[in-house]
Amino acid sequence: MIVKKLLVMVLAAFVLAGCATTGNDFSSNQIDEIVVGQTTKADIVSWFGEPSSRTKSTDHDAIYTYLYSATRANAMSLIPGAGIFGKGMDSNYKTLMVFFSKNGLVTEHSYTEGTL
């Protein structure tokens, strides 16, 4: 009975330790609705939430960057030594960069997503 409880606790620790997220998840549904010269900063924030970072450059009044990544342990990570045969983690990421002019309108944007 003690061995069974210990095994359950060890497996739970592996599962809990194997999950990590960075940034705030955002929906990519409205990316196609971003229109250069028409979409405003307020539109972007209402659609995607507060950005992960806000910066400025010589070419743009503001750059909003949205970053999100999630990593989860898969079943392979629970088998000792199995990492040499396969990947023990599943990772997904999303990045959205939105560039604004001095009048607060989008001048360009880029979106990438993928798995690692």
pLDDT digits (tens, 9 = 90+) for 61-87: 999 999 999 987 765 555 565 555 556
Q: Domain limits of the chain?
A: 2-115
Q: Parallel, antiparallel, or unpaired for β 19-23 and 53-55?
A: unpaired
Q: Flag whether the pTM goes above 0.75.
A: no
Q: Where are any strands of DSSP class E within 1-116?
A: 19-23, 53-55, 62-73, 89-100, 106-115
pLDDT category of residue 5 using cuts at 50, 70 and 90:
very low
Q: What residues have CB less than 8 Å from 62, skipping those under 6 apart?
A: 41, 54, 55, 56, 99, 100, 104
Distance CA 91, CA 72 (A): 6
